[in-house]
Amino acid sequence: MTNRPQPRRGVSSLFVIGCVLWAIVFGGLLFVRFYRPSEGDEDRVLPDGTISESEDDGKPQTIVLEVNADQRQAVEQQLDDAKAKAEKLDEQVAEAKSSVDELQAAVEKATGDEAVAEAKTALEGARAALASLESEQAELTERITTLEVKVAAAHNGWSPDGLPDFELTERNGEKVTLQDLLGKPFVVAFVFTRCPGPCPKVSLQMRELQEATENLDLRLVTITVDPERDTPEVLRTYAETYGADPDRWLFLTGPVDVIYPLIGNGFAMPVQKTTTDAGGEYDVIHTSNLLYVGADGIVRGKYNSLDDQAFAELKTRLRRDVPKIEE
């Protein structure tokens, strides 16, 4: 009986196993390098601080955010300088208070009209100097608070100088600019009226905010991500569906080339129109985050409206930060 050579299965198996292990390791490295968990349903943030999206042809598209490293470093340096100045000013205020106390004691101990008059004059001068230092101290404290807000915004990809100006159209047909919104804090949502996904939930959460903050001096703003179809008339009907108070809850539309850069660069959120079939139907990828903006136009934070805990945190923050309506 002739012995036939057996195939070298051990070598082939090792080769296959090696290839599989290599693919797993390489794929894992790529995952760790580029994946970042998002707070919203569509956020995709790369390590360099840009938002990656997909065009209709499937090619990657990158929106460069307004904030760069130089801007972050500049505002951080301003904050460091202000804090250093505040430390020196605190020492000066403490010394001035000590001088006032000593001069007050001197006035009480002084004898003779001339000595008393001199002591009182010195005391008045010391009190004036202290008042000036305390005024400067209060102004510097306010500046530090403002700079801390700017630094926090810069670290989250938002401009420390606030949102860029824009002009959009409200459901009542009136033009609305950023300047019209400044002066009151506001919360912004992004939806479109034909949305089959999270938009109804987002709008319901905005309605809950409207009810929960009725005594707060706060605006609510919904911006459509499908302005080609969401005309003022369409938005008016949609707003009525959710019981939106026209004095407190605005619905804005406008040109795509205004809205999309505002969302992508100003709010640092993704937005992308994608074709769904050969007939020209399309969907819009967008975030479910609610953006909290201060009265100065600087974004304070983002909260995923689909996450109950995040939404509760937003309501708590609004009750803490936003002043009540004056009766």
* Local confidence band at 273 (pLDDT 50, 70, 90 cut-offs): confident
Q: 161: closest CA among 85, 86, 68?
A: 68
Q: pLDDT tens, 40-97?
A: 434 333 223 333 333 333 333 334 444 567 888 999 999 999 999 999 999 999 999 9
- Per-domain residue ranges for the chain? 69-155, 167-321
Q: pLDDT tens, 292-305?
A: 999 999 999 999 99
Distance CA(311)–CA(304), nearest Å, equals 7
pLDDT at 25 over 70: no
What is the chain's mean pLDDT, rounded?
82
Residue type, 268: A
10 Å Cβ neighbour count for 220? 20
69-155 shares its CATH topology with 167-321: no
Q: pLDDT tens, 126-140?
A: 999 999 999 999 999
What pTM did the predictor assign?
0.72
Query: What is the structure's pLDDT at 18?
Result: 47
Query: The CATH number of 167-321 is which of 1.10.3720.10, 3.40.30.10, 3.40.1190.10, 3.30.70.260?
Result: 3.40.30.10
User: How far is the CA of 249 from the CAs of 73, 183, 258, 260, in angstroms?
Assistant: 36, 15, 21, 21
- Looking at residues 16-29, what average pLDDT do you find? 42
Q: Domain 69-155: which topology?
A: Helix Hairpins (1.10.287)
- Looking at residues 267-285, what average pLDDT do you find? 81
Distance CA(100)–CA(125), nearest Å, equals 9
